[in-house]
Amino acid sequence: MKGLGELERSIMDILWAENTPLTAREVGKLIADRDLAPTTVMTVLDRLTRKGFLQRTRDGRAWRYEPAESRDAYIAELMLEALDLTGDRSAALTRFAQAVSGREAEILRRALTELEEE
């Protein structure tokens, strides 16, 4: 999975938060604090679509963009990629498990139990 640049991440955050397909103009209004040209927003949306982060559908003359995957799926993929960078996945997983809070450890335990029961 390809990473996200700062502007790409800002736009993805907007689309993940809105939970509905948006046009480039709507995204531009929601990221107004950055004072971006409409063409810049369209270019970034097109790039995110080509990278596989977004799906788009026609709405009249405009495109509507929505995330191809949830934020959780994206973060999980980043975590798996980070594991691939280590020469010892077991050691990395052990360190990770030691670093999470008790509540997070319980969530992991529950998820693993559910996987075993399938």
**Distance from C-alpha of 79 to C-alpha of 1, rounded to nearest angstrom:** 11
Q: Is the pLDDT of residue 1 over 90?
A: no
User: Is 109 inside any structural domain?
Assistant: yes
Cβ contact 4:12 at 8 Å: yes
Radius of gyration of the chain (CA): 18
**Same domain for 59 and 18:** yes
**Same domain for 28 and 42:** yes
* Residue that is written with structure tokens 């670093």 in the block: 99
Mean pLDDT for 10-30 is 94
Using alpha carbons, select from 7, 72, 19 the residue that is nearest to residue 80.
72
Cβ contact 24:70 at 8 Å: no
**Same domain for 84 and 63:** no
**Same domain for 46 and 22:** yes
| pLDDT value for 101 | 95
Cβ contact 22:64 at 8 Å: yes
**Same domain for 63 and 17:** yes
**Same domain for 62 and 26:** yes
- Please give the tally of structural domains in the chain: 2
**Same domain for 112 and 88:** yes
**Same domain for 63 and 10:** yes
Q: What is the pLDDT of residues 60-87, one digit of tens each?
A: 999 999 999 999 999 999 999 889 999 8
Q: What is the pLDDT of residues 43-63, one digit of tens each?
A: 999 999 999 999 999 999 999
**Same domain for 113 and 77:** yes
User: Is 1 inside any structural domain?
Assistant: no
**Distance from C-alpha of 48 to C-alpha of 46, rounded to nearest angstrom:** 5
Using alpha carbons, select from 95, 94, 97 the residue that is nearest to residue 106.
97
Burial bucket for residue 49 (CB in 10 Å: 0-12, 13-18, 19+): middle
User: Is 30 inside any structural domain?
Assistant: yes
pLDDT more than 90, % of the chain: 82
* Residues spanned by the domain of 97: 71-117
